[in-house]
Amino acid sequence: MRALLLKYNNYLIFFILLAFLIALKIINPSFIKSISYLSFDLYQKVFPLEKRETDVIIIDIDEKSLGKFGQFPWSRSVFAKIIENVSASNPKAIGFDIFFSEKDKQSPEEVIKAYNLIPTDVSELQNIKGHDEIFREQLEKSKSVIAVLGSSVPSHATHDRNPKARFLSKGGDPKNFTYAYEYSIGSLEKLEKSAKGLGSISFLDQTDGIIRSLPLVVRFEDKLYPTMGLEMVRVGSNQKNLYLEMNEIGIHRISSRPHKIYSDPNGIIWIRYKKSLKSQYISASAVFDGKFDGARFKDKYVLIGASAQGLFDLVKNPLGVTIPGVEVHGNVIENILDQSYLIRNPNTYIFELLFSILVALITFFLSQKMKPKYSLSIFFGSIVTVVVIGFSVFLLRSELVDISYPIFMLTVTFLTGLYFRFVEENRIALSNLQKEAKLLKERELAGDVQKSLFPDIGRFENFIYAKNVPARDVSGDYFDVVKVGKSEYFFTLADVSGKGIKAGMYMAKASSIFRTLSNLSYPLEKVVFGVNNELVEAKFKGMFVTAVFGKFNIETGETSFVNAGHESIMVFDNSKNFEFIKSEMPPIGIVKYFTESMVKSSTINLKEKTFVVYTDGVTEGYLKNGQELGADGVKKIVTDMELVTPKNIVDSIAKELDWGAEKLRDDITCLAINLKNTELVKPIKKKREEPEKKA
């Protein structure tokens, strides 16, 4: 069990992490909501709603109006005059994003109280109609809607408030699903009774202060109220009723004939904001003075609210813009009228969660199985898919799909998978390094053993000399010189197919057979016959040897040789006339010989000639200019040589190819015979160190 857990430890950790991310999404704390809001805002920023015309006009309590009428709140007579002027143009409805919760301080009765005047002294003042009454009369004459706000504490001037709209529901009780406030704050009782509608201006709390959504229906003191925008549409359409259609999960649709609005189960819609229009605003002072085109308000929904900085009625919207709070209600009215509002479907939430889990699983598993560059393309492909789905649903269905949290889940799971892959590959890399270090040590040891197999021909360098420069630790080339009598010598130069330790072992096998048979002073043909058949029996699958075998007499100069599939032998005389002798036999170690007559040998006298043989690592070796040396290159080296000796030939060829390149193309092996000087070189004796004399 423990071994199984260790083997699949990364998958176990991944599933725990995935379960945690799913639980976070289900619990949906505020910081998770803020992640989702990023995508909801992004939709509107990338594709903002643009309008040139609108059915909503805002009478703006701006700095210019404050300069005209003084500090806010103004006398109710000012608002009465504004309503009177606007109503003359026959608007659909007039809504106030303002409370009138206290009596007008400039009304006659309030002035008498403020200055403690005796009634006999102010009899004429008592007969003057109060500002609140003037305002009430205008509210009663017009299609007006005033604001009401949900509160968690009671108001000091509260009264038994009742909504103007009558709610009719089908399929259940909407009170079980609406947002509720224990108390409400509104305007004076007589003003509310005179208005045609009461509209909620309550916003849902947002941690970042951005108003993205609001409930179309709320509950104050166990009574249902429509939001300001919905109430404006109801009053403007001359409807008394609002219809609520329920389903098994809550509110499904809200209707105010002829308008139907689909909401979430709690009656919430997400506001689709347009870019602000300056033409939508008109200063309250201009309306008061009658300086406006009457056609501007005809059949329009008119909202009265404040944009002045000092009144602090400014909010942020998803477009990243700060706007007056009254414009939010204006956008709601427009959304209802042209069906441009956004919805957050509960089924979409389930789809998001399942889709996120599926893509996270696929991304993680692929990150464990595929190379990082391929899994990275899967990761970015998944993100692009999520983004395309989100924007497509937004544009085609006006639905909000959360793409931020799925991308967050994908990123976390992908990075987790990448980390596990990094740890695993590090473990494998470390294991491989250890294996490579062990293999390198073995190869170095094999190389040292192989070097010991090469003969020390320093004594014969006056008439025969050879050198091997391995391209790797272990060489696949081989040469040998065996003295078998007073004046007779066997020699060979061979190239094993393949490289590495296996080739080195094959070479060692061939060299041991050659040396054994040579020491028996067999004829050259019998030596080659024996080497070939022994290599065939050795069963080194797929391997063979190209080689030149030879035997020469230093007194007579007679030389017999066999070229078994090797490079052409270069022979030249004292005048440097060159001849290249090609191979007449296939490589050895491939086919078993049945008789020695199958071995074809040639004879040449080397008293006046030089014999040079080399492996393909010489002819195919790279020079400093990047070109191959070739047989002509070898010929040129010899031609340019003043003193022709076997050692000079071999050393010059090796020096030309082993010029300091980081890596040789192939092993360099070369052997040369010249019988002008057949004197053996005497070995240099090392001087023995004398022991220190005692004092």
DSSP collapsed to 3 states, 552-599: EECCCCEEEEEEECCCCEEEEECCCCEEEECCCECCECCCCCCCHHHC
Cα(159)–Cα(171) distance, rounded to whole angstroms?
Answer: 32
Same domain assignment for residues 35 and 117: no
pLDDT band at 688 (very low <50, low <70, confident <90, very high): low
pLDDT at 444 over 80: no
Helix/strand/coil for 99: coil
Going by C-alpha positions, the residue among 628, 606, 610, 607 that lies closest to residue 618 is 628
Give the other-Cβ count within 10 Å of 295's Cβ: 9
The answer to whether position 686 is within a domain reads no
Q: How many CA atoms lie within 13 A of 110 on its CB side?
A: 13
Same domain assignment for residues 129 and 229: yes
Q: For strand 668-674 and strand 464-469, is the pairing parallel, antiparallel, or unpaired?
A: antiparallel
CB 202 within 8 A of CB 150: yes
Query: Where a domain ends, among 415, 446, 477?
Result: 446
Find tokens 């009401």 and name the residue.
148
The domain that holds 486 is classified in CATH as 3.60.40.10
- The type of residue at 306 is A
Average pLDDT over residues 123-132: 68
Q: Given this model, what pLDDT does residue 24 score?
A: 87
Mean pLDDT (the chain) is: 87
Q: Given this model, what pLDDT does residue 345 score?
A: 84
Distances (CA, A) of 193 to 65, 140, 162, 164, 302: 28, 8, 9, 9, 20
Same domain assignment for residues 474 and 539: yes
CB 305 within 8 A of CB 60: yes
The answer to whether position 62 is within a domain reads yes
524-538 and 500-519 helices, crossing angle to 10°: 140
Cα(689)–Cα(695) distance, rounded to whole angstroms?
Answer: 18
Contacts 24+ apart (CB under 8 A), 517-523: 518/480, 518/482, 518/484, 518/490, 519/482, 519/484, 521/484, 521/485, 521/488, 523/596
Q: Given this model, what pLDDT does residue 360 score?
A: 84
372-397 and 404-453 helices, crossing angle to 10°: 170
Same domain assignment for residues 658 and 574: yes
Token pair for residue 424? 């695993």
pLDDT at 115 over 70: no
Cα(623)–Cα(607) distance, rounded to whole angstroms?
Answer: 33
pLDDT at 522 over 60: yes
Query: Where a domain ends, among 446, 472, 500?
Result: 446
Q: Given this model, what pLDDT does residue 21 score?
A: 87
Distances (CA, A) of 405 to 35, 332, 354: 6, 27, 12
The answer to whether position 287 is within a domain reads yes
Over its C-alpha atoms, the chain yields an Rg (Å, rounded) of 51
Q: Which of 87-96, 144-153, 155-164, 638-647 has the lowest mean pLDDT?
A: 155-164
The answer to whether position 689 is within a domain reads no
From its phi and psi, is residue 626 left (phi > 0), alpha (psi between -120 and 50) or beta? left
pLDDT at 437 over 80: no
pLDDT band at 112 (very low <50, low <70, confident <90, very high): low
pLDDT band at 599 (very low <50, low <70, confident <90, very high): very high
Same domain assignment for residues 132 and 272: yes
Burial, 485: exposed, middle or buried (Cβ in 10 Å; 0-12, 13-18, 19+)? exposed
Residue 226's DSSP bridge partners are 217
The answer to whether position 345 is within a domain reads no
Q: Given this model, what pLDDT does residue 693 score?
A: 47
> How many contiguous H segments (helices) and E segments (strands) does the chain have?
20, 28
Same domain assignment for residues 102 and 66: yes
Q: Given this model, what pLDDT does residue 694 score?
A: 44
Query: Where a domain ends, among 446, 474, 509?
Result: 446
Q: For strand 558-564 and strand 602-605, is the pairing parallel, antiparallel, or unpaired?
A: antiparallel
Determine what percent of the chain falls in helix, strand and coil, rounding each to the nearest 5.
45, 20, 35
Q: Which of 207-216, 573-582, 596-605, 609-618 has the lowest mean pLDDT?
A: 207-216
Average pLDDT over residues 365-383: 80
Q: Given this model, what pLDDT does residue 695 score?
A: 40
331 phi and psi angles, rounded to 5 deg: -65, -35
The dihedral sign for the CA sequence 284, 289, 290, 291: negative
Q: Which of 400-404, 436-440, 476-480, 685-689 has the lowest mean pLDDT?
A: 685-689
pTM: 0.65
Average pLDDT over residues 134-159: 87
The answer to whether position 692 is within a domain reads no
DSSP 135: H
Residue 138's DSSP bridge partners are none
Strands laid side by side in the 217-220 sheet: 179-181, 217-220, 223-226
Same domain assignment for residues 358 and 382: yes
Q: Given this model, what pLDDT does residue 82 score?
A: 94
The answer to whether position 682 is within a domain reads no
Q: Containing domain of residue 573, as a range?
A: 454-674
Same domain assignment for residues 129 and 273: yes
Same domain assignment for residues 661 and 512: yes
Average pLDDT over residues 564-586: 93
Find tokens 């109503």 and name the residue.
87
The answer to whether position 344 is within a domain reads no
- State percent of the chain over pLDDT 70: 91
pLDDT band at 377 (very low <50, low <70, confident <90, very high): confident
Note the pLDDT tens digit of each residue in 34-88. 888 999 999 999 998 888 889 999 999 999 999 898 888 888 899 999 999 999 9
Note the pLDDT tens digit of each residue in 250-305. 999 999 989 999 999 999 999 999 999 999 999 999 999 999 998 999 999 999 99
Same domain assignment for residues 182 and 290: yes
DSSP 321: -
Q: Which of 25-29, 97-101, 131-135, 436-440 has the lowest mean pLDDT?
A: 436-440
pLDDT band at 638 (very low <50, low <70, confident <90, very high): very high
Q: Which of 154-163, 294-303, 528-537, 627-636 has the lowest mean pLDDT?
A: 154-163
Query: Which positions ≥6 away from 24 have C-beta within 8 Å?
Result: 32
Q: Given this model, what pLDDT does residue 113 score?
A: 65
pLDDT band at 500 (very low <50, low <70, confident <90, very high): low
Same domain assignment for residues 316 and 400: no
Note the pLDDT tens digit of each residue in 652-667. 999 999 887 778 888 8
DSSP code per residue over 613-675: EE-HHHHT-B-TTS-B-HHHHHHHHHHT-SS--HHHHHHHHHHHH-SS-SS-SS-EEEEEEE-
Same domain assignment for residues 102 and 240: yes
The number of domains in the chain is: 3
CB 240 within 8 A of CB 167: no
